[in-house]
Structure 1
Amino acid sequence: MTEPFLSVRDLVVSYGDFRAVDGVSFDIDKGQTLAVVGESGCGKSTIARALVRLVTPTSGQIVLDGTDIAQLGEKQLRPLRHRVQMVFQDPYGSLDPHLTAEKIVAEPMRDRSRADRHAEAARLLDLVGLPTSALDRRPAEFSGGQRQRIGIARALATSPDLLVLDEATSALDVSVQAQVLALLADLQRERGLTYLFISHNLGVVKQISDRIVVMRAGRLVETGSTADVLHAPTEGYTRALRKAALDPTTMRGRKPRDVVRQLQGAPA
């Protein structure tokens, strides 16, 4: 048996006396998708922020490909940050409105020549289904689905192994949502990406995930294969989730675009 690509053990994230995440453990195999589901405020987005080290866990382990990143300082984290990138819920708030799509996507490539950055930005935009003409346009000139594609292209600019997708399709209408899910599936198949997919929508989760973790009040209440959890849940809470449309979890505190640079290894 091979070791999981990401192994989270007894993860705790506390804010004073409040435990936003309370002793959560799970694994994700390379090239697989783990969905984390639950109602608003259950700790899903806090897990996402801990995995990309926007917050430092109070205790527990986050073992990424053999390295525990849970308590590493920023200097130690910097060479690892490119391996884990985040795609945010808000496809507009996560993009700097003053930059063109080319500059947004090319921002992580600061050590490359201008010509290389231009060529790679064009390639990545093409990869996510946007034309070359998109390079010179700003976020306000795109639809919500197109903005999310730019966000995905930007995340791919560091050649990551793991994408943390925090409600990445919840702000999109159903038809656009399906297109973005298809894009994510294609990218995973072509590039061997590993996904942690956070959602309140079990219909979306059914389409994209291999395994599911169900959260409630900071704790893991059920986990298993997607088929088992959705079709034969053992917990009443999971059964209730199947019957209710729950409010999406939002990023609180800093706007997504204010943390993008940190995720890419630069000072925020």
Structure 2
Amino acid sequence: MTTSPTWDPQQYLRHAGHRGRPFADLLARVPALPREPARIADLGCGPGNVTTLLTERWPTARITGYDNSPEMLEKAKVHATDRLDFAYADAADWTPARTHDLIMANATLQWVPGHVDAFPRWVDALAPGGTFAFQVPGNFDAPSHALMRELADSARWKDRLAGVLRHGDAVLTPTAYLERLAGLGCAVDAWETTYTHLLEGQDPVLDWVKGTGLRPVLAALDADPAARDAFVTEYRDLLREAYPATEHGTVLPFRRIFVVAVKPA
């Protein structure tokens, strides 16, 4: 079981442009919704900055962004309108209370062990012709994750960080997701994209993972600031070697998996 991270919206938003692009790319593949006005859920909405893109495409829709982080929900409140609100929910056990035309999950399901087990109830909650669309990181074998796990499993840290971090099986392959959702009767579009992010600043890959993948370690060591800082320093040095700075910036390749599943009309 991974340690539940405590989120820092400001840290997360430091790379908002890069983080927001997969949401926009996913949204571009979502077809027309079956009802007007539509009912939409954004599961794992974070600070709400990309949830607002849903209001731009479907101005009359009733949209709710759900998250299990009080810090993220507090930040998201600034985007609330009479048609967009935000509420607490945990994707691990969220069961829609009403019929939805679109359920989105952007960079959320990798935090939910066994998330495919929720697919039947989420598809059941869709209106005929409705869509379930999500994207997850597909980079758990990348140096940013592999080095973090290797360090956490080293002699100095394994007793304190055993079981804290996610592994490569946190997500499935595009084909496996397609098969699961096709088995529920959906028409499925599944694909993957590797983004080549050019990051700026000092130790930008460390800065990136401080907003996401490193959060469980920071939470596990939060009561011992000296240990937390020591781990971050060791990890930083490994990242500098794996992702060297160039005259143009630091390159971070980032593979993501996308799925758009449409329920039969």
Q: One fold, TM greater than 0.5? A: no
Q: TM-score, normalised by structure 1?
A: 0.28
Q: Higher relative CO (CA 8 A, sep ≥ 6), structure 1 or 2?
A: 1
Larger radius of gyration: 2
